Chains A and B, each alone.
Chain A
């Protein structure tokens, strides 16, 4: 019987790489683990997961599961958990897992811990570390009960090695008739972008309010990101001002990123924004105010006018 079950997220026939980080927590918790893929026509996805050390890849494949509707997905997860007997139900923090896993926890009558960044084992009991208050504090929590649902912060756990002997892919039969039917998917507006995914990029360049407008934002933030092959992020203020789309927002209520290099342009560093970038390896701040809080967090900071510095920077990088 598997100790843990890890929910794998995918998008357009691709596994979301960040969702694999939860596997590392499953390994740390010990025991066997299974992976769960839900969707429709997901053969390619499930076969790409066989060498991640799981005992099996469970696949719930049905037209009724083509879109990630929380009521149906949570039902499938709860049934899969009951069948597998897993004690830990894991996922990586994302809007997908945050939407679905708490609902699955409700169906399983289990407690849930969001955004786990580390575990501590003492005298046979386990405690979980997670950020609270926009990451300004960490709480160490323990949970009771037979089962628990956990989501992890991708940045806090490595990608697992993919060198295990292939495991079987097991079909999980879904009775589509018995699935809930109160929610309907209507549409998704996805932007096509040649830039890497924000949460998986090696370099993230993001901008704040001083970028003024959409065009300037694209020219400076986008220009620098392209020079470095990076993704684009934004502060809440920049998003609210219409300079960047909603899903670019980084921070407490937006995305959490942890790239190798994070470049903050015209960002003062409100605690809510810092919450989303703290785990980046190198942080560069370019700002006109040397006393801005971001300068305390940045690895390097350069004080001056964005409109002069950024074009210079783009130019120098392109030349190099």
Chain B
């Protein structure tokens, strides 16, 4: 079985950057949900159900560090679609469709959303474009019937839901699917010998332009700073008389 894992490079949400040398510090990481997807693919391979894991990302050469991190975790090879434009989920999914058609994986596993854009669309759009079954927000994956089907548990607003998908299919990962391993230094050194294939949109035969444009980005208005109360009685009085909420 071959697994394709699309991943995105995002600003480090924990911002654990080394300010000591601004020039050398990387402020980007693999999107945490995609990291969970990579980890899941590795575990599937480790239990003998997959033979190859291919990573794919879209971006300028500056994302190579995240590609090598994915390779260091254990991804076998990677593809970078060389496109530095600000893409929207609409365009990303169409580029990924071309990669899926080229690579013909049995399953695509990817994060449910990127933590910078928070759109939560690409996996579902990709599934729609390909006409493949999908399971979103997944917290467990099991392959059945000689890997022709996948049984997935989904985390929904109402609770856990179990669905079965015929393969090939798209699976998007939620937080509790697994805890990703860390990139080790020996892994990083091995990653340097693994291939990164760089392709343009032309080379994979896709001509797409984003339909969403970000016009402006602004900070939300701050809530006024809180009032400290000293006792339970004072809190209850405030809630009753000032806030009129109880």
Q: Which residue numbers of A lie inside 8 Å of B, CB to CB?
A: 11, 69-71, 74, 94-96, 98-107, 111-115, 127, 131-145, 180, 182-191, 199, 203, 228, 236, 239-240, 245-247, 252-253, 255, 260-261, 272, 278, 281-285, 290, 295-303, 309, 312-313, 316-317, 320
Contacts and interface: CB of A to CB of B under 8 A. Distances in A.
A193 to B, nearest CB: 10
Nearest to A71: B133
Interface residues on B, range: 35 or more
B186 to A, nearest CB: 29
Given A138-B219, A182-B166, 19 more contacts: A70-B134, A102-B120, A102-B122, A107-B128, A111-B88, A131-B118, A137-B219, A183-B135, A183-B165, A186-B162, A187-B162, A203-B246, A228-B246, A261-B243, A272-B13, A282-B245, A296-B226, A302-B230, A317-B236
B161 A105 contact: no
B176 interface: yes
Given A132-B117, A133-B116, A246 B128 contact: no
Nearest to B118: A132
The list of the 3 closest CB pairs from A to B, nearest first, reads A106-B128, A102-B124, A182-B133
Contacts of A98: 120, 124, 136
Interface in B230-246: 230-233, 235-236, 238-239, 243, 245-246
A191 B118 contact: no
A295 B165 contact: no
Contacts of A261: 239, 243, 245-246
B230 to A, nearest CB: 8
Contact of A300 (B119, B122, B215, B239): B239
Contact of A105 (B121, B176, B232): B121
Contacts of A299: 223, 226-227, 243
A303 B215 contact: no
Interface in B119-139: 119-129, 131-137, 139
A300 B118 contact: no
A112 to B, nearest CB: 6
Given A112-B89, A139-B217, A102 B115 contact: no
Contacts of B213: 141-144
Interface of B is mostly: mixed
14 contacts: A99-B137, A133-B118, A140-B218, A144-B212, A144-B213, A189-B159, A246-B155, A246-B176, A247-B158, A253-B112, A261-B246, A282-B239, A299-B226, A301-B229
Interface of B: 11, 13, 33, 88-90, 93, 112-113, 115-129, 131-137, 139, 151, 154-166, 169, 174-176, 211-220, 223, 225-233, 235-236, 238-239, 243, 245-246
Contact of B118 (A115, A203, A278): A115
A240 B116 CA distance: 22
A139 B117 CA distance: 9
Contacts of B219: 136-138
A305 to B, nearest CB: 12
Contact of A260 (B117, B233, B245): B245
Contacts of B129: 106
A199 B169 CA distance: 31
A119 to B, nearest CB: 13
Contacts of A180: 131, 133
Contacts of B157: 94-96, 199, 247, 255
Given A272-B13, A295-B226, A284 B235 contact: yes
Given A94-B157, A104-B128, A295-B228, A240 B176 contact: yes
Contacts of A104: 128
A96 to B, nearest CB: 7
Contacts of A112: 89-90, 119, 121, 125
Nearest to B116: A133
A199 B131 CA distance: 32
B169 A297 contact: no
Given A137-B217, A182-B132, A284-B235, A301 B226 contact: yes
Contacts of B121: 102, 105, 112, 114
A106 B88 contact: no
A255 to B, nearest CB: 7
Nearest to B230: A302
Contacts of B139: 246
A100 B157 CA distance: 14
Given A11-B158, A95-B137, A106 B124 contact: yes
Given A111-B88, A134-B118, A312 B232 contact: yes
A187 B156 CA distance: 12
A125 to B, nearest CB: 10
Contacts of B239: 261, 282, 284, 300
A282 B245 CA distance: 8
Given A107-B128, A135-B220, A188-B161, A297 B226 contact: yes
Contacts of B216: 139-140
Interface centre among B88, B116, B119, B231 (most CB of A within 10 A): B119
